Structures are given as structure tokens and as C-alpha cells.
A and B are shown apart, each in its own frame.
Chain A
Amino acid sequence: MPQHKSTPQLMEINLGPQHPATHGVLRIVLTLDGERVVKAVPHLGYLHRGVEKIVEDLEYFQIPPILDRMDYVANLNNELSYVMGVEKLAGLKVPERAEYIRVILLEFNRIMSHFAWFGPFTNDLGLFGTAFLYGLREREYIQRLFERTTGARMHYNYFTYGGLRHDIPEGFVEEARHLANRLPAVIDEFEYMVEENEIFRLRTIGIGPMDGKTALNFGASGPFLRASGIPIDLRKDEPYSVYDRFDFKVCSASGGDCFARYKVRMDEMRESVKIIQQALDQMPDGPVRAKTTRHLKLPKGEVYMRTEHARGEFGAYIVSDGGVRPYRLKLRSPSLSNLMASCVLLPGMVLPDLIATVASVDIVLGCTDR
């Protein structure tokens, strides 16, 4: 940590929890030496609802709507780990069509999440308004597809153990294909908008560099880890669902800085589009829900199912005592691990860089606090 002898007076201020740059209700207690951060202590729990405790009183079929409220930007990804865990423990076979629809929606959800990250990120860098609106506007198009498919704009509650709650609406494939064909140009447009912008480059390149080893030690995952040069992607490394049938590459960058994180997400979206297009081509007909009972009883045992969330590894650890409710459901959220990892970067930065760094990690407090 660099020492600044010229300004001996330290000042302690609160960043958040009600601050537009903290992406939710993150509160960071900062000790500042002038503009420079000496100490940064994140305080969590402003959005703590006790999800893990609540679900112990719920039957398995009642749980997905609660999980939707964790990471409210990439909800379907939350549901997936849980329903796949239940399926694994119950030995349920999901119909192939359901798997493909899941993949299509998950990848759209990932893109939506990255769009919802891109806008506020540029906002935090001072590019007020324009890119933000572009990000949200493009997200809205996908959102409409989701609304028609799942019936909800935000808390989809669409996945269920054994498949999906209901089949996709008429015209889904055409609209999804249209969106997927259009998205690469949109992503190009976003890059075109900010990437050669000198301010953007100055504010991101070399800011908040994270080395891969530290990130791994903190349990970081997802684009945050891949930007530090470690290409770990569960879709490739531990293929679940039907991800092993698609041709896509794991995007990584070596810089570890804010720009690298931005770049990884941008590239990742292109790969997601590729997956969507392949899935739409391969999607078979058939049922979308395996035959299960409403009050499912899981055999005694435990299972940990992890999937590649938009933000990293999202895990659901289900312990069953043989009843209709989980004995314990531990949820591993990527946001928390990534936030903890990024906090070591903060001391020594100037305050605006701290904002940029926290924004580039892409945390969702609903997921962090649970």
C-alpha cells in the first residue's frame, strides 16, 4: 500500500448502501487519505432475507420462486443449479427438448445480465446516459421474449425439476432466431461506442489488476476469473445439460484489469449467441416436462450441483433427509466470492478507480446477501 505522508489526516466515509454506484445496497466503509483509499471494508447483509433458512420450510416445488429473488438479473441461472441438483438426487431424466430450451433461455439470460452490467458500468465511468440506455434497451428486447415465454418480466419461475413449467409459445423459435441473428451487430455497436473512447480506455486499462492466483485463492469465478487469465468455464470443464453438444470457446483475457473484464464479457456474449443459434437448430420436438409427482420426496443423501452462472460458479448443495423438504440448502453465490476477491484490490486506489473496479466485478447484492 503506498504511503502518502503529505496528508496525515484520514477521513472515514460511507459509500452506500444507498448510492447509485454500489449496484444495490452494498456499503463500503472507506478510509480516505484525500482522494486515495487507505482502507475499504465492505458491509453486507442489507438485502439478507434468510433464503437458505426459508427454503427449509418449503417443499421442493415451492423453492424456485424464492431462488429467483437471489440474483435478480440472471434468475434462470439461479434456478438451474437447484433444479439440476434435485434432478440428480431424484434420478430424473429431463426431456431433451426441455434441455435445449433451458440452454437457449440461459444464454439469453446471460446476455441480458451482461447488458444490464454494461450499461451501469459505463455510467460509473462517467459516460452518463447513452451507453446505459443502449444496454437497457437491448436487454428489453430479450426481456419481451422472456415475458412471453415465462409469463414474467423478472422473476421467471420457469424451470422446475423434470423440465419446464410449460412449453414455449408459438413463434418463439422465430423470434429467438431473429434476436440471436441481430445480437452480434448490437455487441459490435456497444464496442464501437466505448472501446475507442479515450476516457473509457483511460478509466479501465490497468485499473484494478487482479492476478489469477489471488483470484483463485479467493474462490473467484466467472468472467472475473477468466479476465485474470484462467480460462475456467463449467460449461466446458464439467459440461452439464447439453452444453457438450455445442461448439463454443471459453473467453479469457490476460490483463486482469477492468478492461479485460469488459472484454471477456463482450466476447462471451458472442459465444452465447453461437450457442443459442446451434441450440435453435438442434432443438427437437417432444415433451418439456418429465413425469414427476407434485410432492417430490428426495432419497436420503446430498448433492452439490454447480453451473456456470452469468457471474461465475453458482452452486446448490442440497441435503435431503428423505422428506419432502430439504434438510439444508446451501447456495454458493459467485457475487460474494468475487466481491471478496476484489476487495483486496481497493486499498491504494483513488476513489473513482474504486468505483470502476467494483462496477467491473459485476455483483448483485440479492445474490451476495441472500
Chain B
Amino acid sequence: MTARRPLFFGTGIVRTFRVTVKHFFMKSLAVQYPHERIPITPVSRGMLWMKGAIDTDTGFVPSFTEMPPCQARCPGNVDARGYVGLIAQGRYDDAYELHLETNPLPGMVSRVCPHPCERVCRRGEEDAPVTICDLKGFMFDHVSAGRRQKVFTRPKIRKDKKVAVVGAGPAGLSVAFWLGKCGYDVVIFEKLPTAGGALRAAIAPSRLPVDIIDQEVDDIRKMCVAIRTNAPVGPGGLSLDDLFAKDFDAVFLGLGAHRKIPVKGQAKGADTPPEPSRSEKNAWLPEQGVNLDDQGNIAVETGANQTSRAAVFAGGEAILGPGVTITSLGCARRASQAIDVFLNGAPSDYWTNGFPKQDTIKKRYDDVTPRLAKAKPGEGVLNPVHPMAEKEAIKQAERCLSCMTEECIGCHICEKYCPPQAIKITTSQDKTRHIDSYDIDYGKCQLCETCVDVCPTRTLTHTPEFETADYDHADMTYDKDKMTRQKPLRVDIYAKEKK
């Protein structure tokens, strides 16, 4: 309750109004506009526009500003959307080449990966995730020998720098591949008689056949000067100083942290010697100037993979502790880039001139549209199925929704979830299922943004453009031409107020 002010007008309706109006219009309080003082970016939802093109006339180039969920979730950031799209077109060689950019060991990884990508697959929210890991194995089985030969060739332009990779596990092999691609001379030193690291030592052959390991190790061998097995670095072998004395310019420590996992049913015998802990294994490193952290892992600068000793880098389980293969690969990729920048001064062309990304995406939409209606529930399986039939693999790959490509693929998801059913999509009835028309009836649209929320490709956007008034109901229906060719009028409705 505020203090009563004195009654200043008498009775009579006419007088009351006259006085009231005059009094209050004179008050300065009444005409303060907060927005005159504080500029605020409007985030209004207005009209619905399509970012991307559903026909090629618009010349729209997708920006790929965001990773699709599968790639973002993958510890190695493998471009699953890209290679699955290529598999859908039957371009297994291209898919393989694209895959090697982020993971040079698809054969081994497809057998052991826990595939977190499938857990976040957007398609999984609709029915069942795309079986990405199976497709990876399928791709590895179907890549042609000719393309394999071409990909695993050391580039002609050499950099005349030598890198020693210690440990022929997944991390070491990947680093050897990428640095080989960049034009460095790589020598791998492996303590054991065979290369493969944890994947050979700790994974049962029933799960990961030995011939797959042999094949991938042989592929990587082509990218290196040599893989020296039975050549330990550390106790009983070469020291880091020895390596630098042998004209190596940088050393990558991919020492691993695995132990031999006892096979189920095979009890650990009393005479089995206890395996040394990680701290014990790595105990020789501090003497060489490489510091360890509390857990006995090699300590590195965050994100740079640089150890405390100059020109010595580390990656994989040696710095992360025991984990999954794909995590080591992601770490190894960062280490490779760091070594490349350390030796070359700037990133090599390989990192930027990879497999053309737009090609993988563009072609895909010309040929294939996912068939949402035909998906079988429960199609996503947790255990890899090998081998996969070609017909089945293509069908599976076609289910990919191509998230975040900013181009409409005609998946009908927005149509399905539009509460007032304002969206109408027609697709051609032939095998390609091209999108024929995309209409939004603004007479029905309630601007609830549900379509924007559910759009897997992020094609639909809302703008602060509110001008949807028209004289004819037919004009209120916006077709794909109106939504794509016409540039959205990004009118700042607060422009005047801001001043």
C-alpha cells in the first residue's frame, strides 16, 4: 500500500477525464523507452526460410558450420556422415579415402569400436540408428586393391626430416600414416616381434582376425621407411638421446598402456608374473627428460601433445591411460598435426587439401534420399555384423539423414511433426525419390519452430521477418522457390528504435 495522494479532482466524469489526461501526459515518467538506452539484438521468430537448396539453381554452398552428432561425438571426429553417404552411392573407394583422413585403421576399428556415434545418431531418434560401425567394416572389405595401392603411396615431395615413432600400436601407426602423407620419413620402433600394439596383444582373434591387422600394418608399412620390430626404446634398447643422435628430428611416444586381458574362462595362473604398472613401465622416461603425471602417464601440454622434452611428442594411451582405440586415434591426429607444425613451421597441405568434402555431400543428394517410411524398427544392432551384404549395406547407408548439411533432403520429418500440418512435401515416386515440392502454408503456420527443431539438416531457419500479409490465400503458401531463391529480407525491426 502506497501513501495516499490528496484527492485533486471533484466529481463529474467529464472533469475527471480532462484533469487526469492533462496531469499524466505531463509526467516525464510516462515516456521513457528502455530500448532507447540499451540496444538488444532481436531474436524474433518470423518467417520460415530454407537455408539450403533443394534444386541446384540457387548455387547454394553449404557452410558446414556444425559437425553432425556422429562426428562430434566420435573421439576421433571421423566423418561418418561423409563416408556413409558415399557408401550409399556405391563409392566404396571414395568412402575409404575419406575415412583415412581421420582414421587410417578402419578395418581394425570396425571390429573393436564401441561406436559412440551410433548412440547419438539422429536417425536413432526417429526409429533406429544407422549402423555406422558395420558400414565401416563393409567399406574396408569392399575397397579395391587399386585404390588401396594409390592411397598408401608416399608422396613424391619429401620434407627431408626424420621422425621416430615409438610403439606400433594404433596411435603409432596412425601418426606414421599421417606424417608419411605429409612427406616425412618415419621409422617405427616396436618392442614386440609384431606390430599392432594392443589390438594384436589384447584382443581375441575371434573378434579381430589377425589377417585384418596384418593387412593394415602392411598398408602403413608402405608409408614408412621401416617398421623395426624387436627394437625396444627405453630399458634394454635405445634411449631418446640415441634416437636424436641418429638424426631423428622428432620423436613420437605411442607407448600404450594396455595389459593382456585374460580371455574369459581362462583363469589367471598362479605362476603368471604380475604385469608392471604404468608408472613402473614408464619409469625410464623422467631420466630422459620426459615428465610423468600423477597416474604414471606421460604429461603433455594440453592440446599440443608436446612433452616436457623438446621435440618429443606423445599420444594415445601413453598420455590418456587405458581407453578405446578411437580415442587414441583422435589424440594421435592432434599429435601428428603438432609434430608437423613443429618440423615444418606451418601445417602441411595435406591437412587442408584432403578429400573434397562438398563432393561427398552434393553428389549424395542428387542420387539418394533417405527413406524414412521404409525403416524397420530395431534395425540398429549393437554388435557388428560381418560380412554385410552389399544390398543391405546400401540400404542401411541410405537411411542416414545427413545431419547439419544445411540442405533439404526431403526426409519428411518436418511434415510429420508440424502441429498444424502446414508443411506439405511431395517426392517423386521413382527410385531416386527426388523432392518435387516443398510448401508451407502461412495461413496455418503458428511459428512454433517445431520444424526448425526437428530438421536434422538444419535447413530450416526462422528470421525476424514478419511480413507475411497478403491479399490472396494462395499467396500465403510459400513453395520451395519462394523460400530459397528469394533472399530473406533481414529487416531489423528495431532499427528505428535503436537510433
Contact = CB atoms under 8 A, between A and B. Distances in A.
Interface of A: 58-59, 61-62, 64-66, 126-130, 134, 137, 141, 144-145, 147-149, 151-152, 155, 157, 165-166, 169-172, 174-175, 178-179, 182, 185-186, 188-189, 191-193, 195-199, 267, 293-295
A170 B11 contact: no
A151 B5 contact: no
B125 A294 contact: yes
A311 to B, nearest CB: 23
Nearest to B462: A151
A171 B41 CA distance: 8
Contact of A148 (B16, B32, B40, B126): B40
Nearest to A59: B417
Contacts of B354: none
A61 B33 CA distance: 36
Contact of A151 (B9, B20, B44): B44
Contacts of B4: 195-196
Nearest to A192: B5
B448 interface: yes
Contacts, number: 106
Contacts of A165: 449
Contacts of A196: 4-5, 7
A141 B37 CA distance: 13
Q: Is the interface of A mostly helix, strand, loop or mixed?
A: helix
A293 to B, nearest CB: 6
B42 A147 contact: yes
14 contacts: A62-B450, A127-B16, A145-B34, A147-B42, A148-B40, A152-B44, A169-B41, A172-B40, A175-B34, A175-B38, A178-B37, A178-B38, A182-B34, A196-B5
B1 interface: yes
A-B pairs, top 7 by smallest CB distance, nearest first, are: A65-B448, A151-B45, A171-B40, A151-B44, A196-B7, A178-B34, A148-B40
Interface in B441-485: 446-450, 453-454, 462, 464
B45 A126 contact: no
B41 A182 contact: no
Contacts of B7: 196
B450 A191 contact: no
Given A151-B43, A171-B39, A189-B29, A199 B462 contact: no
For chain B, the bracket of interface size reads: 35 or more
A149 B454 CA distance: 21
A239 B341 CA distance: 58
A199 B5 contact: no
B387 interface: no
A107 B282 CA distance: 61
Nearest to B29: A185
Contacts of A182: 29, 32, 34
Contacts of B448: 62, 64-65, 155, 157
A170 B42 CA distance: 9
B272 interface: no
Given A189-B24, A189-B30, 9 more contacts: A61-B453, A62-B448, A65-B450, A127-B16, A144-B34, A169-B41, A182-B34, A189-B27, A267-B1
Contacts of A127: 16-17
B266 interface: no
Contacts of A59: 417
Contacts of A170: 40-41
A126 B13 contact: yes
Contact of A65 (B24, B27, B446): B446
A174 to B, nearest CB: 5
Contacts of B125: 293-295
Contacts of A137: 30
A197 B16 contact: yes
Contacts of A267: 1
B21 interface: yes
Contacts of B27: 189
Contacts of A149: 43
Contacts of A155: 446-448
Contact of A58 (B9, B40, B419): B419
A166 B448 CA distance: 13
A129 to B, nearest CB: 8
A129 B308 CA distance: 78
B35 interface: yes
Contact of A169 (B32, B33, B43, B419): B43
A169 B40 contact: yes
Nearest to A187: B2
B24 A175 contact: no
A137 to B, nearest CB: 8
A316 B34 CA distance: 36
A178 B29 CA distance: 13
Contacts of A141: 33-34
A191 B2 contact: yes
Which one of B21, B35, B126 has the highest number of Cβ atoms from chain A below 10 Å of its Cβ? B35
A137 B464 CA distance: 23
B9 to A, nearest CB: 8
A129 B29 CA distance: 19
Contacts of A179: 34
Nearest to B39: A171
A205 to B, nearest CB: 15
Contact of B24 (A147, A193, A198, A295): A193
Given A65-B450, A189-B27, A189-B29, A175 B40 contact: yes
Which one of A137, A171, A191 has the highest number of Cβ atoms from chain B below 10 Å of its Cβ? A171
B68 to A, nearest CB: 15
Interface string B98-139: 000000000000000000000000000110000000000000
A197 B27 CA distance: 19
Interface in B15-63: 16-17, 20-21, 24, 27, 29-30, 32-35, 37-45
Which one of A152, A185, A188 has the highest number of Cβ atoms from chain B below 10 Å of its Cβ? A152
Given A130-B20, A130-B21, A193-B24, A152 B42 contact: no
Contacts of B11: 198-199
Nearest to A64: B448
B121 to A, nearest CB: 12
B41 A62 contact: no
A294 B21 CA distance: 53
Given A59-B417, A178-B38, A166 B43 contact: yes
Contacts of B44: 147-148, 151-152
A92 to B, nearest CB: 17
B17 A130 contact: yes
B450 to A, nearest CB: 6
A144 B32 CA distance: 14
B104 to A, nearest CB: 32
B419 A174 contact: no
Contacts of B9: 197
B135 to A, nearest CB: 23
Interface in B408-466: 417, 419, 446-450, 453-454, 462, 464
Nearest to A173: B38
Nearest to A126: B13
Which one of B417, B419, B464 has the highest number of Cβ atoms from chain A below 10 Å of its Cβ? B419
Nearest to B124: A293
